[in-house]
Amino acid sequence: DAGVIQSPRHEVTEMGQEVTLRCKPISGHDYLFWYRQTMMRGLELLIYFNNNVPIDDSGMPEDRFSAKMPNASFSTLKIQPSEPRDSAVYFCASSPYLNQPQHFGDGTRLSIL
Amino acid sequence: AQKITQTQPGMFVQEKEAVTLDCTYDTSDPSYGLFWYKQPSSGEMIFLIYQGSYDQQNATEGRYSLNFQKARKSANLVISASQLGDSATYFCAMRENTGTASKLTFGTGTRLQVTL
């Protein structure tokens, strides 16, 4: 079975550029989560969706960050404009129900120069 | 206050020995879930084991077991018969319900090194 698929695996770009991270959840999973992992702050939940609707975006750092889920099989996390402090590994995860384990993608390693 | 506390930043264990990774949590929610994830050096996050707050028995999954002590608010992971491939960082996480939302909060992780 295909797991959570994220793209790209690595992204290096200059500050000020727009960055778009993509995620395809596991088919049939109604919940989708975006996390950010840094050495300083560990793993942080940014936002999560239920049936394509954003439920909690309190973890989104600021207005430069936005996330969408236009359909059940696709989500994007966009940073515009990007800054060096956005450099991190961004994970997407999905689960069938809220109290079920979340299955993570391999992450996108983002470097903003 | 920290929601999830992992007090061991790093640990060593000899191959074939058992090891316990500590996790304590803080919540006033009567319904919550506790998870353990493994993150090898390659970076992916791998789900290991889950314990619900109302589960009567400790969860087990192969060589992994969760020592759940509800009164003490601890959910320690026990790995039996350690293997070299168990070398990784292990994260404890808690899901609690806050109104209509639900959050998964992670600890800071324990880096485990299995030696020969």
The pLDDT value recorded for residue B91 is: 97
- Grouping H, G, I as helix, E, B as strand and the rest as coil, residue B86 is helix
CB hemisphere CA count around B49 (13 angstroms): 19
Contacts of B46 in chain A (CB under 8 A): 104
Q: Which of A43, A99, A103 sits opposite B106 (nearest CB)?
A: A43
The answer on pLDDT for B83 being more than 90 is: yes
SS3 label, residue A104: strand
**Cβ atoms of B58 and B44 closer than 8 Å:** no
pLDDT of residue A2: 82
Interface residue A28 vs chain B (CB under 8 A): no
Instruction: Return the number of other C-beta atoms located less than 10 Å from residue B2's C-beta.
Output: 11
> Looking at this protein, which amino acid is placed at residue A73?
S
Say yes or no to pLDDT of B101 above 60.
no
What percent of chain B is modeled with pLDDT above 90? 82
Distance of alpha carbon B93 from alpha carbon A88, whole angstroms: 20
Q: Which helix (H) or strand (E) holds A63?
A: none
Q: List, as one string, the DSSP characters of A28-71.
A: T--EEEEEEEETTTEEEEEEEEETTEEEE-TT--STTEEEEEEE
User: How far apart, in whole angstroms, are the C-alpha atoms of residue B64 and residue B49?
Assistant: 7
* Average of per-residue pLDDT across B86-110: 85
CB atoms B43 and A104 under 8 Å: no
Contact call for residues B90 and B110 (beta carbons, < 8 A) = yes
B18-56 confidence digits (pLDDT tens) = 999 999 999 988 889 999 999 999 999 999 999 999 998
> What is the identity of the amino acid at B102?
S
Please, which pLDDT band fits residue A98 given cuts at 50, 70 and 90?
confident
Whether B45 sits inside 8 A of A93 (CB atoms) is yes
Q: Does residue B39 or residue A101 have the better pLDDT?
A: B39
